[in-house]
Structure formats: structure tokens, C-alpha cells
Amino acid sequence: MARVAWTEPARQMMARRGVAEYDGFMGKVELRVTIDTALVAQARAAGIGLDEAAEVGLRIALADAGRGRPLGAVASHPRQMADPVAADERARRWTRENADAISIHNARVADRGVFGEDLRRW
């Protein structure tokens, strides 16, 4: 078995998401996966190794699942990435505190439509 040698971008990504870096020996499993061809082309052009990217992605998804975050949940602000559980609570609190404004906005959109909708060409 080979020792894991993470690239620096992978280390940084896992550190930002609070994922522990696996530093020991591990066995590997060969898998067949289907991935968007354009995404694979972009990754290859950027020099991103698909094996490592998949493994880092799985580690992040598992860590997020352990924190109760759904797959694909975006945490773009550094404070959200540093403490995703608190970020989820802040989002829920913001939604509660702004429920009236959100309701008024939704009613206005239902009544008048989206601003600039008449100018859209798609």
C-alpha cells in the first residue's frame, strides 16, 4: 500500500472545510464512475488529478454529512466554512427574523412579476 501524498491545494481545501487529512496508509478501490465530460476536460486542463479530487470531495461530503449538512450545501463565506454548524443556525435565524419581509417580497413578485421581466429576451 502506498502512503498518501496530498497536494497543497487538496490540503488547503480540506483545511478550509475542517476535514482531517488522512496521513496513514490506505488501500485503494478501483471504481467506475460517470462524470460530465466538460468537467473532466476542465479538471485536466487545470492539472487537477481526478483520483485525488474525487477522494477529497468524498472526504468533504462525509465530513459535511457528519455535521448534518446536505450534499452540495455551499458555504462561501470564510466564517461559514470555519464553523458550518453555526452558519446553518445563523441562516435559520436570519430566515426567521426576515420572514415578514420575505413574505411581502414574494407577494409583490406574485402580483407584479420580477423586475425587468418584460425586458428579458430568454
pLDDT digits (tens, 9 = 90+) for 9-48: 766 766 666 666 555 445 677 778 888 888 889 888 988 8
Q: Which long-range contacts (CB under 8 A, 24 or more apart) does 24-30 make?
A: 25/1, 26/1, 27/1, 28/1, 28/2
pLDDT digits (tens, 9 = 90+) for 84-101: 677 778 888 999 999 999
Classified as helix, coil or strand, 83 is coil
Are 61 and 54 a contacting pair, CB within 8 Å? no
> In sequence order, what are the beta bridge partners of 25?
3
Residue 82 banded pLDDT, cuts 50, 70, 90 = low
Residue 75 banded pLDDT, cuts 50, 70, 90 = low
Identity at 24, one-letter amino acid code: G
**For the chain, which residues make up each domain, given as ranges?**
1-73, 74-122
Is 63 a residue whose pLDDT tops 50? yes
